[in-house]
Amino acid sequence: MNIKVCGITQFKQLQQLEALNIDYAGLIFYKESPRYMGDKLIGKEVKNADFDLKKVGVFVNPSYSDLLDAIDEYGLDIVQLHGNETPEMCEELSAEVEVIKAFRLGENGTADIDKLVEPYDAVCDYYLFDTAGLKESFGGTGKQFNWSILNSAKIEKPFFLSGGIGPDDAAKVKAFKHPDFFAIDVNSKFETEPGVKDMAMLLKFLQAFK
């Protein structure tokens, strides 16, 4: 099971995730997020760290130049696009880094998921499915959508499952089956405050998968 811990705002916590063999760490570049890493992480320090984990920059409707600047400054391995970015932007970006395109699904979703992702099939490396919130919300709702709506979708690209996954959900995650299910993305349910993760809680969660 691949695991992404999103909303990291401290270099020390990046080091702790590395020690726990976490696969992906999400750094949020969206200024409206309570987990915006802003000036809390120093680009040079993050870029020069010898990590095995992959650093994922999370953006909402960024300009292409802002993306390139962040990739260079922080040494990002992957960019996650969580807004209304076009397939054309994803294609251009995919020449620089791996790309995750996020899609927000209603809690009981009626969307045709294959039709939703189709324009991005050839231009992204991964998908991420998160819970839709208020109109102005781009994830971070702390709520789960009904995962079973993915069962009938072909998808045919590795995807991250996100949205309200908490410490007590290990059994539910293990029970979820889809041929393209690649990773889970955890965030707010593992925090002591926005942007600060409870590593003991995360360790206990990891142990539940063994």
Q: What is the pLDDT of residues 149-186, one digit of tens each?
A: 999 999 999 999 999 999 999 999 999 999 999 999 99
pLDDT at 111: 72
**Considering the chain, what is the average pLDDT of its residues?**
93
- Name the token pair of 204: 């206990």
- 103: phi then psi, degrees, rounded to nearest 5: -130, 135
pTM, to two decimals: 0.94
Structural domains for the chain: 2-207 (3.20.20.70)
Give the pair of three-digit tokens for residue 145.
Answer: 């959508």
